[in-house]
Structure 1
Amino acid sequence: MSHSVTITRTTTSTTNTSYIVLNTGYLKTFPGLLKLFELIIGVAIVTIMAINFDARYFATYRPQDLFHYLMATTFMIGTFCLFLACLTSLSTGGLIAKTIYELIYHSVAAILLVVSSALLLIKLKDYKHDSYMAAGILGLVNAVLYFISAFLAHRSYRGI
């Protein structure tokens, strides 16, 4: 009885300093680029929301703004930690993609960012604020990136 065997080789390029190993090859992969763009857009949203932050109005008049600010900050920090773990370890990028964590994380991030962005954009019909419009649209773009990451995580998930 014969069967075929597929052998997959992964080439990893590293930048080795005395204490820190950087997996620069991870940045050349599609999941690595997605995480990088999710992080950059997250920083842009948080920056826009922080510039317009006024604590007196958030708590009582505009809870949608605060919710979007909190969701963008939460997933920006989570993505940074995940990206940093994959970048500083030679094995994390390949291993964590095979677990259920990435699927759950990216799915929850996508859903909550869609909800917070939609609530923010619906609230904008009551008053005009261009920077909030930009933050809401960037939130939707980031949610699409998280949906793509969730799809890729679902395809690579192995129920071990």
Structure 2
Amino acid sequence: MSHSVTITRTTTSTTNTSYIVLNTGYIKTFPGILKLFQLIIGIAIVTLMAMNYNTNSVYFRGHQELFHFLMATTFMIGTFCLFLACITSLSTGGLIAKTIYELIYHSVAVILLLASSICLLLKLRDYRHDAFMAAAVLGLVNCVLYFISAFLAHRSYRGI
């Protein structure tokens, strides 16, 4: 039985210190830039939500703020871990993209962030709060970035 084999060569640049190897070439790739922007936008959402979240008024407005705050925090931490793994290892960036983990992670991120952003936007119809509105819109922007990452993960997934 014959089969074709494709061999790809990846060139990475590193900054080598005595203990830590940084794969600086990953940051220059499209998936690396996407993860960096997802992380930056996630930090912005969590910061906006944390600065304006008031536990006393949640019971009067609903739990949409808490849901969005939790989803943004969850995926910010998950993206940070993925990004850190990819830049501290020479092989992780290329290997993890070929597994189903990234496809599942980014797909779940799209669904839950979209749900939390829409819930918060629907709740914001009743009253005006600019910081929460900005956090909800940034959540939608992050959904688009996670969708692009899920699409790229789907294309590069190598199921066995």
TM class by shorter-chain length?
over 0.9
Is 1:64 the counterpart of 2:64 in the alignment?
yes
SS of corresponding position for 2:8: coil
Q: TM-score, normalised by structure 2?
A: 0.95
1:9-158 correspondence to structure 2 within 5 Å: 9-59=9-59, 61-158=61-158
Unaligned regions of 5+ residues in structure 1, if any? none
What is the aligned-residue identity percentage?
79
Matched to 1:155, the amino acid is: R
State how many pairs are aligned.
Answer: 158
Q: 1:59, 1:66 within 8 Å by CA — same for their partners in 2?
A: no
- 1:59 shift after superposition: 4.7
Unaligned regions of 5+ residues in structure 2, if any? none
Structure 2 distance, partners of 1:59, 1:84, is: 37
- 1:94 shift after superposition: 0.4
Matched to 2:74, the amino acid is: T
Matched to 1:113, the amino acid is: L
Q: CA RMSD in A?
A: 1.4
- 1:55 shift after superposition: 1.2
Q: 1:41, 1:142 within 8 Å by CA — same for their partners in 2?
A: yes
Structure 1 distance, partners of 2:114, 2:60, is: 23
- 1:60 shift after superposition: 5.3
SS of corresponding position for 2:22: strand
1:90-138 Cα offsets, whole Å, 9 max, x none, are: 0000000000000000000011001100000010110001111100000
Q: TM-score, normalised by structure 1?
A: 0.95
Q: 1:67, 1:116 within 8 Å by CA — same for their partners in 2?
A: yes
1:45-91 Cα offsets, whole Å, 9 max, x none, are: 00000000111222553200000000000000000000000010000
- 1:7 shift after superposition: 3.9
Q: 1:23, 1:87 within 8 Å by CA — same for their partners in 2?
A: yes
